[in-house]
Amino acid sequence: MAALPQILHSPPCSSSTSSLIAYLNRSPHPPPYFHFSDLRRRRPISLRCHSHHTNSSDDDLVELPIFPLPLVLFPGAILPLQIFEFRYRMMMHTLLQADLRFGVIYADSSTGATDVGCVGEIIKHERLVDDRFFLICKGQERFRITKLVRTKPYLVAQVVWLEDRPDPETEHDLDSLANEVESYMKDVIRLSNRLNGKSSEKETVQDIRRNLFPTPFSFFVASTFEGAPREQQALLELVDTAKRLKREKETLRNTLNYLSAASAVKDVFPSS
């Protein structure tokens, strides 16, 4: 697939907050292996559990081992991991004998960990002689943490599943909205490639949506917004496909406007 530029977008929380967009070309292929030892160099992560009204009964609650990571996992996305820290090796031994599923939540050292994440399912693994693990995981259901069950040797939380709940008072043609988002993505890719000298602006960008239904396509689009984890987290937490697609469309429109301006400058000053 053609390369997507890195998109940095600030949520519209105030009129003074603007989108910061970098068009450094980034591949939408899986990121490099993340080393869990990186977490040891961070200060202890605090988990923010907010109060939310749910109709979930105790039967709907599930316990999951939790991985706090400096990234956002989406349903359908592929996540490669390398694990060699002792407590996470312990977790892997347990998972590989049982469910193969764990929860991934976004966390950073400044704001702590979020309470909404995505299940990662181990679809391939390799255990090395020194007891390290190489894993390939795939994003599955979203969840919200309702309670921490334990924190040692690793986090285990009680979670409830999250599903999109369209607003019954508003009707949207999701398929048309998804097609608009795809069109913006193609324009962004085409113009970004031109700016980076990788192809002609008129070169046709291959099919991006690949017959995905609107909801999984909205998650795929969000997964390409690398470099903007807080924006990705906001998209993950939305429970309305139309709102997610609209927010992505706005981000892509802002990106396209930025790239168009950069292209105009490059045409006037070719050496810049």
Q: Dihedral angle at the C-alpha atoms of 223, 153, 146, 98, nearest 10 degrees?
A: 70
> Is 98:123 a contact under the CB 8 Å cutoff?
no
Query: Which of residues 226 and 216 earns the better pLDDT score?
Result: 216
Mean pLDDT of 114-142: 94
Mean pLDDT of the chain: 79
Contacting residues for 261 by C-beta, under 8 A, at least 6 apart? none
Residue 32 has what DSSP assignment? P
Residue 256 CA from chain centroid, whole number: 21
> Is 132:171 a contact under the CB 8 Å cutoff?
no
Residue 26 CA from chain centroid, whole number: 15
Mean pLDDT of 90-112: 91
* Separation between Cα atoms, residue 113 and residue 47, nearest integer Å: 5
pTM: 0.78
Model confidence pLDDT, tens digit, residues 18-58: 222 232 233 333 333 344 333 333 344 455 555 454 455 56
